[in-house]
Amino acid sequence: MPLVAQTTVRGRVIDSKNNQTIPGVTVSVKGTYNAVLTDTDGNYKIDVPTSNGILVFKFVGYKTQEIEIGDKVSIDIAMNQEDIALDEVVVMGYSQKKRSEIASAVSIVTADKMAGVTTPNVANMLQGKVAGVEIVNSSGAPGQEAEVRIRGVASVSAPQGPLYVVDGIIGGSYDANDVETITVLKDAGATGMYGSQANGGVIIITTKKGKSQDTQFEFKATLGKRVADQGHLKMMSGSELYDAQKELYRDYASGKIDILKFYSERPRELRTRNFNWEGNMFQPAMVQNYYLSARKANEKSSYYIGGSLFNEEGTLINTGYKKLNLHANHTYQFSDKIRVDNNFNISAYDGTSYDYMDMYYSYLSLPWDNPYDSSGNPLFVDGTSTSWWSRDKINPLHTIKNSNHEYKGFDVNYDLVLDYKITNWLSFSSSNRLSASTTKSHDFVSKLAAGTYYGKGYINESSGLDYGGISTDLLKFNFDGKIHSFSGLVGVEGQQDHFESLGAEGKGLPEGFSVPAVASKELLIHGYKDASYMQSFISQFNYNYKSKYFFTGSYRIDATSAFPPKNRNAHFPSVSAAWLVSNENFLKDLKMVDMLKLRASYGITGMKDIGAYKYMGLFDLSTQYNSDAAAVPYQLANPDLTWEKTEQFNIGFDLGLFDRLTINLDYYRNVTRDLLIQVAQPLSVGFEKKWENVGRVNNNGLELTLSTILVKSSDFQWTFDITYGTNSNRLKGIDTPIYQTLNGISQIYRNNGELYVFNLPKWLGVDVQTGAPLWEHLEKDANGNVTSRTPTSEYADATAQEVGHALPKFQGGFNTFLKYKRVSLSMNVSYMYGNDVYNFTRKFMDNDGHEPYYNLMKWKSGWSRWKTPGDVATHPSIQNSALSTENSSRYLEDGSYLKLRNVTLRYEIPQNIVKKLKLQQLAVSFSGDNLLTLTKYWGQDPEVTITPSTYVMPGVSDFKYPPNKQYVFTLEVKF
């Protein structure tokens, strides 16, 4: 039996506009995985079957062309530049669409736009690049993930983050280096298909896949340095603090400083002591990332395998994070009907964390204390030390040396996808993922460390095991007609997740040992399990008429174990429509307009992640009395509890002009109903709160993205993008305001108010005559209207009022990219405006003499201390400052900022050198992150968390791990 005869076809590919050769074009035999790439001169050669071959030419930015091979052995073609706006294929999760067909608010970020950002997590790569997406780095701790908010805050109690989908399946794990594209789905037209998990938007990650017949290798090495960025916060030096403390000895009546008493209590030699705590606790740290991947595709299969090693030291001493990730995907075409994909991802990480108090003391310890003894070892300091000046007799350097806070984890994901073509218009696909992960944390303090564990030591270890899976089985249909086209899918999805934890804690460890087995007293064990289940029905229908009018409808039903039996199911419909005006006859020939699309969508999404058992009345069993089991009231029952649902309405347009300018504008109105809120109960009921479905949140906003290609010539390119998003947030339908308080700072949620509004006494400054602090006292009439405002120096009389809000008025970014021949420069800036931040650390670092043994922050210019009657000052007299550091609008500052997130300068080594080294591409780049922050905020960093949790209130800046400035050098090799 003769084999199918093969011949070799060669050719060259050029650009039809400028006749330049195009390297990297994929030339393949249609219907197979047989493909090659054109070389740097645009030449290719490929083996083809001698019968019925069609060559397909594909390249990003150009229209795909198909040419019958017939009996030709040489095929040269000129490719036409594509209308990217129309023809690019976008992964939408359960299905794929061409850009022209999308009727929803969707943003796409490709790998090239994310290059230059060195980070282990993907959220950081999106900063400032997608309108309507707010990304906050609330902590600079190594391994810390950024917080992501899409289109404002839609819930009070539920986690707000988006749903992540990796390679078409919900969940999953990946490394930033494996990412090819990120698609952000913003409105219900697109997210409706994810139903009860989609309130926070959906982020779809597509990993790199094999493309060509030649194995392609990619290697990237990044090496650099990071330093802590303390913003405007600087602590005083020994001499500055010494001079500032003279104020403590001022006599109020005479206004004079009792200098003799001062010298008697503050020896003059103190002024010469100056230990730099900040400089010693925070040190420059190294960051490294190594990535190697290989990929290939042929007629039957394609594969990609990539490994990445990331290692960052933390700027706070003894902290760091390491991660190793292996990602592989493999597609095998069994026959022309059956395709099977196998993907897996293994990731392992190991991090060293820190104790909050070590951070606290890094700032507040006095520069007059030297924490090192004469031999250079950290000094032991405890309550009996008489020569330690700082308020709390503790040396954080000694504590850090004698403690360890480690965590590690390991996770595995395996995907199996089966695609079966039943007929040419009907196919069946089954996507399945199994995942398992373990985590372990280890907190250890040696018995040598001064403080509460001295002489005993302390250990607390905890492990968690999480495993589960998801299976989505769909029937997909597709009729592509010249006039009418239909497509759609219908199917079911099931998910389950199981979690178990185990922990042990104890004290009484002998020196040098740090495992739970050696703890001898106060032994406690922890452990519990949890599970969740969800079953869904998914469907979608798409129709287009002559590629001008597009319509999509989807319907999903979810049933989940998180809700009481009577409210277990919920329905999520959505519809969207688009009009591709530029395909109409009257616009088709207008060269100026590349694309004009009008679109509108409406849909409902839900939120199920409120944590389990919220509807039950519960007594918590995890305590004991006299070593007997004891149960304590924990939660009030609510058998009517149900889902939060968001109705989303979006209209927008996409306009492309002159091949140079793209404008995307979206307006949205989202109403989240049946908010899950813990309604405050009078404390005398014995419960602080009860879960109820009460009220609504409205989020209305505008998103604008402007992308311009300012210059595009053969040698020089310059693009500039702007994103802008504004969101207005209103709480409705609650009769009595809800107050959330943490550390005494209060936020109020009231009808017609925004979320996260600070409710505190208003600071009026300092009384000119007495130097006492002033707050505002309000008198109200029977209807609650303010009838008078008077200043008072009695804190108990100050009236709490709405003084600021944590949510911004608008935010966005600028990106620009310049390329001249082989040198390119890119810059990314992100900005936020109108958010207020409560600078909680000032209570300690700017304490008006309440804490004479804490160090102070250096003052902002314009700040002054009241000394004698008649002084107009910002800070009260130290002798008359009772309660001046109590929570009020005094420490509420404007957190607006502009940050230069990334600047990257890249140079591609000339091809003649590259060829000599037998490589395909070689480039080096230098980049800097967080190089510049412009802000009025007088503290560490105006970027503060937007996620409420047990110890955290949105908009409040507590002692946190400072962000980093980072300088890295990267080498990229393709071969």
Residues 778-797 contacting other proteins, CB under 8 A:
795-796
User: Both tokens of residue 223?
Assistant: 């090496």
Shortest spacing between CB 771 and other proteins, in angstroms: 13
Note whether 678 and 687 are within 8 A (CB): no
Q: What is the DSSP string of 865-915?
A: B--STT---SB--GGG-TTTTSSSGGGEEE--EEEEEEEEEEEEPPHHHHH
Query: Which H/E stretch holds residue 217?
Result: strand 216-228
How many Å is the Cα radius of gyration of the chain?
A: 31
Stretch that binds other proteins, among 435-443, 722-730, 741-749, 855-863 (CB under 8 A): 741-749
CB of residue 760 to other proteins, shortest distance in Å: 11
The pair of three-digit structure tokens given for residue 147, joined into one six-digit string: 């917080």
- In the bound state with other proteins, the residue whose beta carbon lies nearer, of 130 and 381, is 381
* Contact in structure between 825 and 815 (CB atoms under 8 Å): no
Q: Does 590 bind other proteins (CB under 8 A)?
A: no
CB of 70 to other proteins, least distance (A): 33
Residue 741 interacts with other proteins (CB under 8 A): yes or no? yes
**Closest distance to other proteins from the beta carbon of 915 (Å):** 51
Q: How far is the CB of 579 from other proteins (least distance, A)?
A: 37
Nearest to 576 by CA among 231, 185, 258: 185
Q: Which one, 604 or 798, has the nearer CB to other proteins?
A: 798
Phi, psi (degrees; rounded to nearest 5) at 207:
-90, 165
Please choose, out of 101-109, 533-541, 582-590, 766-774, the segment that lies near other proteins by the rule CB under 8 A.
Answer: 533-541
Contacting other proteins within 875-914 (CB under 8 A):
879, 882-883, 885
Cα–Cα distance for residue pair 938/891, rounded to 1 Å: 10
Handedness of CA 709, 710, 712, 717 (dihedral sign): negative
| CB of 423 vs other proteins, minimal distance in Å | 8
* Residue 373 sits in the site that holds other proteins (CB under 8 A): no
Rounded (5°) CA angle 308-310-315: 170
CB of 156 to other proteins, least distance (A): 13
Work out whether 744 is an interface residue with other proteins (CB under 8 A).
yes
Q: Give the Cα separation of 403 and 425 in Å (integer).
A: 64
What is the closest distance, in whole angstroms, from the C-beta atom of residue 696 to other proteins in the complex? 22
* In the complex, minimum distance from the CB of residue 326 to other proteins, in angstroms, rounded to a whole number: 27
Q: Is 930 in the site for other proteins (CB under 8 A)?
A: no
Is 928 near other proteins (CB under 8 A)?
A: no
Beta bridge partners of residue 79, listed in sequence order: 15
Smallest distance, other proteins to C-beta of residue 531, A: 5
Name which position in 14, 581, 680, 905 contacts other proteins (CB under 8 A).
Answer: 680
Provide the β-strand partners of residue 839: 957
Q: What is the DSSP letter of 822?
A: T
Interface residue with other proteins, options 268, 521, 591, 916 (CB under 8 A): 521
Q: Does 532 bind other proteins (CB under 8 A)?
A: yes
Nearer to other proteins, 377 or 736 (CB): 736
When asked if residue 917 is in the footprint of other proteins (CB under 8 A), the reply is no
DSSP state of 377: S
Q: How far apart (Å, rounded) are the C-alpha atoms in residues 113 and 132?
A: 18
What is 17-39 written as a DSSP string?
Answer: TT--B-TT-EEEETTSS-EEE--
Residue (2 or 682) nearer to other proteins, CB: 682
The reply to whether 534 sits near other proteins by the rule CB under 8 A is yes
802 closest CA partner among 835, 764, 758, 834: 758
How many residues belong to the site for other proteins (CB under 8 A)?
98
Which of 89, 259, 338, 422 touches other proteins (CB under 8 A)?
422
CA distances from 402 to 348, 452, 961 (A): 26, 13, 20
Smallest distance, Å, CB 796 to other proteins? 5
538 within 8 A of 94, measured Cβ to Cβ: yes
Residue 715, SS3 per DSSP: coil
* Residues 235 and 857 sit within 8 Å (Cβ to Cβ): yes
Answer whether 226's CB lies under 8 Å from 284's CB: yes
Least Cβ distance, residue 852 to other proteins (angstroms): 8
User: Of these, 60, 73, 524, 823, which contacts other proteins (CB under 8 A)?
Assistant: 524
Q: Does 110 bind other proteins (CB under 8 A)?
A: no
Nearest-approach distance from CB 418 to other proteins, in angstroms:
9
Please, which residue, 386 or 787, has the CB nearer to other proteins?
A: 386
Interface characters, 711-740, with other proteins (x: CB under 8 A)? -------------------------x--xx
Q: Does 870 engage in binding with other proteins (CB under 8 A)?
A: no
Distance CA 705, CA 39 (A): 35
Q: What is the DSSP string of 322-364?
A: EEEEEEEEEEEESSSSEEEEEEEEEEEEEEE---HHHHHHHHH
For residue 184, which amino acid is it? V
685 sits near other proteins (criterion: CB under 8 A)? yes
In the complex with other proteins, which residue's Cβ is closer, 713 or 783?
783
Positions 837 through 856 that interact with other proteins (CB under 8 A): 843, 850-851
Q: Give residue for tokens 């359960």.
A: 94
- Whose Cβ is closer to other proteins: residue 185's or residue 953's? 953
Return the number of other C-beta atoms located less than 10 Å from residue 903's C-beta: 17
Quote the least distance from Cβ 263 to other proteins, whole Å.
Answer: 11
Residue 869 near other proteins by CB under 8 A: no
Q: Is 681 in the site for other proteins (CB under 8 A)?
A: yes
Judged by CB under 8 A, the chain residues 264 through 303 that form the site for other proteins are: 264-265
x/- binding map, residues 430-449, to other proteins, per CB under 8 A? Answer: x-------------------
246 binds other proteins (CB under 8 A): no
d(CA 279, CA 365): 13
Compose the 67-106 pattern: x for residues touching other proteins by CB under 8 A, - for all others.
Answer: ----------------------------------------
Measure the CA–CA gap between 419 and 476, rounded to whole angstroms. 10
Q: How far is the CB of 468 from other proteins (least distance, A)?
A: 10
Using alpha carbons, select from 138, 291, 316, 145 the residue that is nearest to residue 226: 316
CB of 23 to other proteins, least distance (A): 44
CB distance 679 to 737 below 8 Å: no
| Selected range binding other proteins among 2-10, 653-661, 920-928, 944-952, rule: CB under 8 A | 944-952
Q: Residue 806 and residue 945: Cα distance in Å, rounded?
A: 10
**How far apart, in whole angstroms, are the C-alpha atoms of residue 888 and residue 700?**
30
Q: Hey, which residues between 456 and 515 contact other proteins (CB under 8 A)?
A: 469, 471, 473, 475, 492-496
Per CB under 8 A, which of residues 611..670 are in contact with other proteins?
Answer: 612-613, 616-634, 637
Query: Which residue in the set 39, 278, 355, 382 belongs to the binding site for other proteins (CB under 8 A)?
Result: 382
Q: Residue from 517, 592, 683, 782 that binds other proteins (CB under 8 A)?
A: 683
Among 2, 376, 512, 565, binds other proteins (CB under 8 A): 565
Per CB under 8 A, which of residues 945..964 are in contact with other proteins? 948, 950-951, 953
Q: Using CB under 8 A, which residues numbered 186 to 225 contact other proteins? A: none
Between 423 and 861, name the residue whose CB sits nearer to other proteins: 423
In the chain, what is the greatest distance between 2 CA atoms, to the nearest angstrom? Answer: 114
Could you list the beta-strand ranges (E) of 563-695: 569-580, 593-607, 618-625, 628-635, 644-657, 661-673, 676-680, 689-693
What is the rounded CA–CA span in Å between residue 721 and residue 813?
8
Instruction: Give the shortest CB-950-to-other proteins separation in angstroms.
Output: 6
